[in-house]
Structure 1
């Protein structure tokens, strides 16, 4: 039967609670998509740091206490850790200063309901660590990098709305079990960036906020779908290379992170970087992410193929163009980024 009218009045405390105002809300799911090399993972690492330290992110405040972040790095977990370390060192925080972020590596078959308790248990273990830190007692943000890997691990097809639906049903089960944290998914655009996320269009209906990232030297994060914030540009950002010590051979250890420099002053300066095609940009980013150890030509080609550059001819053309521009070099069969 119908409830009394008094019990269904909307109260002021029904307003949405945010972890980062206007972007990351409790209980919601966001998707952050970009082409390969588009800094989507670097951007979410930056968000993780801001949320864990209860600091503003691109001018948007964190309204509450610090909350923990669990980053499920389904690929390249070491790179995620290097980025977080680079942020810590750039901020001047000593290693003794605890930050409530846990990076969880390994594959997850998110089409399988049996994976749900595994994820919940991993987050609860992280929360035991978070509870020992000042003011932080729970995980508020779960990052899954990448969405495609979550489907592929179970033999699914990201072009299938049914397979995507199974993943989102399991993500909801995870949120229900953990008190409704925010889930952020990292994904890829298709070959035609203008058409948005790769795979089934079901993604648009299953997330609360969809952000696409595009641009060359200066990137712009743009809301293309949201429940209750306007579509359009969120903010622009650039990247920077951070050096933090040397490896066992004395070579500098570097990683590419999102810069916190005022983008308005950056955009006024003409970039000194040569203009790169999409393939050149992807291959340069892959080699840059490999750090000072570099990559063999075969390993570089394999990564390029995984990231959508299909043929060896295109690998060769992009590689030679980068070499001609003075951006990469080869020595003893290993390719490295210059500078």
Structure 2
């Protein structure tokens, strides 16, 4: 079901019949609640109400309807209450291994990038072209076309443009001229003020959206007026609003956000946001070269990157006859910012070797056998112990500089203070670490110092091959 105009009377009655089919008229209180909700448009919904209430008694139902005061929200509350009661009864389900394996996998909206249902963020520094990239993603999702080689599955899209609506007008024109076709009608734009931390705003928006919609909210900062993104309380309210919107629409919510002052440290704001995400995309610019990277994906490959460039297109002229231009995103892996993995400095080398040592002894492997990282506080003492600095303050500064440099240059990635290998071979090296940790757990040897794998995690190999 895609976006369309206001429903006809027949469509309204059909929807109401479908809703009331979930609610048996088994008490005066239930009939009264339904009567209150349909009283807002008795001409349309009256016949549906009387047919539904027949088992309760038409005469009694008529009296209840005549006395009912209009309240459009009570039916939603009743459905929610009954739904929660049903969920509680069916909350626990015990499955065999065969039944577990037979469960369908979670569908994706863009394979390896975005799930069909969930909560995601696209973030980067100002000027990185994250909004241009999201406009391109919105068009690809609406049409079911590939996005940078990733298959997408069609869905209605709502783009909430809270920063510079004029820019979006020109971006859609540029897309049309570049593509030689109209911008997809299944992408709709909203330029009105919207707040994720206002429950009424969230409910009102959700009521207008079709199920399974993808909602881009550009930007997080504008969608949370007055909130402090660094506050755990305020960020909690933002996350709660986004998840409520996702739950009400059964779709995907994508926030467009800024990176922190130090882009190497990731998403701006409280760390609880990144932890709550199902997917995260980082967008980076280095001069005219740009790339986007999968920083978090449930079923995708973390660290996978795609280069792109912005192609400028004339979309009209202003009142002085001067060309007005905008841009479109053009995939171009050659345009991705290069990361030349040069020889590490002595301090970075110490950081890398101490990381490997800590990973071998204190790395965390999840139930699926994936290395999820080593905590910064398990890594720190290894660095301090091997450092030749004279005092702890210097060691602390050198350690902080090493880990920041290694993340910035792509050797490592970090999430919630857990560090993993990055770079082109990151996935392979993380798999090796996981295998060694599992072997340690099974045999009782220390992975980083196993007789069968001398130096495997001790840092004796060349760091330039990462």
TM-based fold match above 0.5: yes
Taking structure 2 as the reference length, what is the TM-score of the superposition? 0.49
SS in 2 for 1:79: helix
Partner residue of 1:18 out of 92, 96, 108: 108
Partner residue of 2:190 out of 97, 100, 104: 104
1:181, distance to aligned residue in structure 2 (A)? 1.0
Give per-residue Cα distances to partners, 1:53-78, cap 9 Å, x unaligned: 1110000112x4x3211001111122
Q: Does 1:147 align with 2:209?
A: no
* Cα distance in 1, alignment partners of residues 244 and 101 from structure 2: 27
1:60–1:3 Cα change, 3 Å: closer
Partner of 1:209 in structure 2? 279
Which runs of 5 or more residues in structure 2 are unaligned? 1-88, 338-466
1:12, distance to aligned residue in structure 2 (A)? 3.8
TM alignment of 1:62-81, pairs within 5 A: 62=152, 64=153, 66-81=154-169
TM alignment of 1:319-334, pairs within 5 A: none
1:4, distance to aligned residue in structure 2 (A)? 5.0
TM alignment of 1:54-203, pairs within 5 A: 54-62=144-152, 64=153, 66-93=154-181, 95=182, 99-123=185-209, 127=210, 140-151=213-224, 153=225, 155-178=226-249, 180-203=250-273
Q: Report the aligned-residue RMSD.
A: 2.4
Taking structure 1 as the reference length, what is the TM-score of the superposition? 0.67
Work out whether residues 75 and 106 of structure 1, in 8 Å CA contact, stay in contact via their aligned partners in 2. no
SS in 1 for 2:141: helix
* Cα distance in 1, alignment partners of residues 128 and 105 from structure 2: 34
Over 3 Å off, 4+ runs: 1-8
SS in 1 for 2:198: coil
1:237, distance to aligned residue in structure 2 (A)? 0.9
1:98–1:204 Cα change, 3 Å: closer
Work out whether residues 116 and 212 of structure 2, in 8 Å CA contact, stay in contact via their aligned partners in 1. no
Bigger helix fraction: 2
TM alignment of 1:151-300, pairs within 5 A: 151=224, 153=225, 155-178=226-249, 180-216=250-286, 217-260=288-331, 262-264=332-334, 266=335
Bigger strand fraction: 1
Partner of 2:426 in structure 1? none
Work out whether residues 119 and 246 of structure 2, in 8 Å CA contact, stay in contact via their aligned partners in 1. no
Partner of 1:33 in structure 2? 123
Bigger Rg over Cα = 2
Relative CO higher for 1 or 2, CA cutoff 8 Å, sep ≥ 6?
1
Give per-residue Cα distances to partners, 1:125-173, cap 9 Å, x unaligned: xx5xxxxxxxxxx55310001111222x2x2111112111112212222
* Cα distance in 1, alignment partners of residues 284 and 158 from structure 2: 26
SS in 2 for 1:36: coil
1:148–1:198 Cα change, 3 Å: same
1:103, distance to aligned residue in structure 2 (A)? 0.8
* Cα distance in 1, alignment partners of residues 237 and 315 from structure 2: 42
1:50, distance to aligned residue in structure 2 (A)? 0.9
1:98–1:210 Cα change, 3 Å: closer
SS in 1 for 2:160: strand
* Cα distance in 2, alignment partners of residues 229 and 31 from structure 1: 15
1:69–1:139 Cα change, 3 Å: farther
1:12–1:23 Cα change, 3 Å: farther
